[in-house]
Amino acid sequence: MSIKESILNFQEKLKGTSCQLIAVSKTHPVELIREAYEAGQRAFGENKVQEMVAKQPELPADVQWHLIGHLQTNKVKYIAPFVHLIQSIDSLKLLKEVNKQAQKNERVIDCLLQFFIAEEESKFGLSLEEAQEMLRSEEYRALENVRICGVMGVATFTEDQAQLKKEFSTLRGYFKTIQEEFFHGAPHFKEISMGMSSDYELAIAEGSTMVRVGSAIFGNRNYQK
Ligand SMILES: *Cc1c(COP(=O)(O)O)cnc(C)c1O
């Protein structure tokens, strides 16, 4: 299937749902992103700051760039002028830096809190308790240039459907808990970013509002270049 066909396929699949496709373009050249763009796709996900910053000026200004990988505080400044959504907030320190850089750019940056839901030690993310502690703090409440729009999680790399379902439902539970305590009645707090190429259907069934799909659109990634 061509990139264009895959995008159209997803548009068809997601029509009438409240789930949005984030096309994960990491490691792929701008020509392929352009192909997806021409099929109507606007939201793209990258996991590395350097790569996003290199691609951004090459593509139309209405591309929505989602940062989905671990973000180091010293790199926030490079994406602050244009990033659409930072999906990987995993500490107050990082959120404070995003706020500072957003202020410098006279904007508010939308963010998701990344939760640790997998069984693998290697994955990043907050626990529910850490997130609650952060959102209760005076320091967080003083931040005026960031807006928390929901939660994000990366499930275990497994084909075990029951395991995946459990992790997705855990993330949805975190979303509900955080929403009730901190964002009750706030319409912008609405995103549950979960699901990738191999498990997006299950994620949608479990309430995902953003699936992050890479290889099912662009093909396999080749990391050694
Ligand atoms: C790479 C990546 C994806 C997309 O993975 P695919 O299996 O290619 O769909 C989704 N989310 C995150 C955080 C990623 O790093």
Which token pair is 21? Answer: 């496709």
CA of 194 to the centre of ligand 1 (A): 10
Choice from 167, 171, 196 to test ligand 1 binding pocket (greatest atom count within 8 A of CB): 196
pLDDT value, residue 73? 98
The pTM of this model reads 0.97
Atom of ligand 1 nearest to the CA of 218: 8
In tens, the pLDDT along 193-221 reads: 999 999 999 999 999 999 999 999 999 88
Task: Write down all domains in the chain, each with its CATH number in brackets.
Answer: 3-218 (3.20.20.10)
Alpha-carbon 93 to chain mean position: 19
Q: Is the pLDDT of residue 120 over 90?
A: no
In tens, the pLDDT along 168-198 reads: 999 999 999 999 999 999 999 999 999 999 9
* Radius of gyration for the chain, computed over Cα atoms and rounded to the nearest angstrom: 17
pLDDT value, residue 164? 97
Contact in structure between 193 and 174 (CB atoms under 8 Å): no
